[in-house]
Structure 1
Amino acid sequence: MRYAFRLAELLGHTPDRRKRPGTIKSIVEHTGLDRHQVASLLKNEAKYIPLDALSRICDYLIDHGYATADELPGSLFAVNAENFWELLARRGEIEIVLGVRESTEGGSPDNATVVASDAVLFGELLNGVSTLGGAAKHQGSADKDASEGEDLPSNGETLMPNKIQQTLVWSPGQVSIEDARERANEVMEGFVEATGDRGMVCIGSVKSNPVVELLFADVFGCTPFVTEDDVDDVSARSCPFFLRYRDSDPQPGGASAGVRLSKNEDAPEPGFYYEKDDGTWAYAGGKNKDTALVFYIFREALGRLDMVLSGFSGRATRLLAKTIAIRGEEFWPPVYEKDGVQLGAYLVQYEDNEHAPTRDDLMYNAGGAATIMPLSTEAIAKRMVRR
């Protein structure tokens, strides 16, 4: 088992320097611990914790009302996930965010709709969280050997969030851009400012869910809703991947999407582009290809998970639902891990079809035939350092 030290979570401490309420100073003055040691504990970066330091931290938490004596030191420690579905299931609360579109009747949120492909992905997500991707039924089986039990919690416990909440935001083009962004900001700020072990899953791309742009901006330190199509060189892009709109798509401004890779480099085909280890960019599509993105970042010290599940097309979104159901284990381990941060980023490629939708599109399980491509650790790491 791998443990995380959740002092920051208990205190509601955020890594954002603009919002820190003097937490480190308060702990240092009360406990007499070294400032650097306290900072390391808050970031979950300490290699070891002396018993004396642990005792002083517990005293601080009790004296300031953050925990009771019978809760400590246990509540300071949490078990980290060992696979994709466990990462979700270990969260105390999960908020699933979907974009909605007005019907032709318009005039009221009551007439807004969620597209069918997003609803399919939403349903598979709920199923996966509640069953650990189908593995939960095996928990507690006495005849499981170690290799067969790798996808299960190592202590056999039953995992399930205490609360799963659905949240709706306006898709771009359905209301004014100001109203869409205001609602997206409201949702993102509410999630970031909350405390406790929590996760937010955004379903859809930036084309349909503006919270996706805010999430990427928060991770990679870029300005949300401001295009980077005009950067001098593609290496200056904030995100290590890029969604090129179709000409017919709504095209909200954003750092994670647009119509060009840079001022001097075109992105001729719609779909996802990504940076490779050598710094060059590649197109994830191609003839008769369709693509989806799986992205997540888990901040151990805060117990906070941010995730995006996004298909470029409705068909890719629907197939992604089948892929995470069948092959969720392949979105683990994270491609980047450092300083208590785990980040996974994967493009999923499907063979496209050119025929009109048929019954087979609803019944055939094509998700198992997908090609899952982890994105470059080097490309992600240099952007995390750049922050």
Structure 2
Amino acid sequence: MNQITNNTNCQHEKEFMKLEKNSRTKNYTYEDIHSLNKNYNDKNKCISNKDQEIWKVYNDKCKNNHDVYIHSSLKLEKVCHNIKAYNQQIIDLKLGYNTIIDNDLSFNKDLLKDSHSVNSNLKEYYVDKWSKMKKEIRKKFTTTNMSDQHIIDLCSKDLNLPTCFHKYNNKDIYALLKSWRQHVTALKSTQRYLGFRICTLIQHINYSDLLNDDQVKIQYSKFVQDNCLFAKNNIGNTQTNTLKKYSELNKIEIKDCYDHVTKKLKINRHLGLTLREDQVIYLLSIFFKKIVHLILPQLLNLKIWLEQQCLYSFCSTSLLIIYDKNKPSLCDIKWIDFTYSLQQDSNLKHYPLNNTKLNMDIVSGLNNLIKLCRTIFFTNIIPPLVKNDTKRKKEELIL
């Protein structure tokens, strides 16, 4: 049996190595952004993928007082149609840590300079204030288009931003605040270090099969350090101090993510923001264990394509992975959320990259995911087996 397993692993490894050595990625599977562009003017046109799901491009748009068009986002009508809802294992990973400002080569340079003059604490204050104002607007205006229009209409004076921001139009202020929010979120979560964070996780698992938080710290902190998952990512001294401040905040424990009624790990956006790096790697290791041979080639393909293309820059995109808990071979992985993606062909003529590459923040996160998947597939180091000792069983009974 071991011989068969070793032979299979060897075959997979050869295939993975072929993917990594490819200079060009053929039959690229991540075509959602291209499908969006291709069908941009075809309202409600359906894109079918082997009848398993239906994507629709909703091109409804409204126009506000400043001639700013607002487009509805891409809507996923059906996800993994063949998997029953109660059997679905789901994870949504936010990729990268760049903001709109980081990716927009033509962004207003004066506004960028003024943005750098605001410290992280003030940025967080204004982001919180902006979020509260958006919630109030959405309560007042029931339709999405109307509420979005009024949110974009917010000006710097509405938020009491420093006077240096009063000269900029509402569109620039919206992009600025959205970027600040993305920046703060990346620093608060695992995004800035790992290159990704968990937005959603639903995993069917017995509580007795989970490591406790102390075990996770011991086994997975070492894995993170040994595999250099903490990439420096051009983190300056100011950001290092901010990261330290956020890391010292109280974090949740693994047991706080478990629902004993449904016997599932359940993580939403709020919980995902409070996870430590070692916890995220642990949760991913148990989620990926049964499907690692299916997703590793996809991750490699996406990484290769991102490294080779120089047309698009992506911000705040996600990896959505779903599989059947009873039939892991029924697995679907999608690269989604292209609201803040930019086509850079015209910008590159006026704002050259000076030997830097686009989307390296996303590639950094993908590299870490690939390292994790390789470790799961080719070794038995992670996820480790849980010893169901008496103390552990008593803890489960008490809960």
* Normalised TM-score (structure 1): 0.29
Higher relative strand content: 1
Higher relative helix content: 2
Tell me: higher relative CO, structure 1 or 2? Use CA pairs within 8 A at least 6 residues apart: 2
* Normalised TM-score (structure 2): 0.28
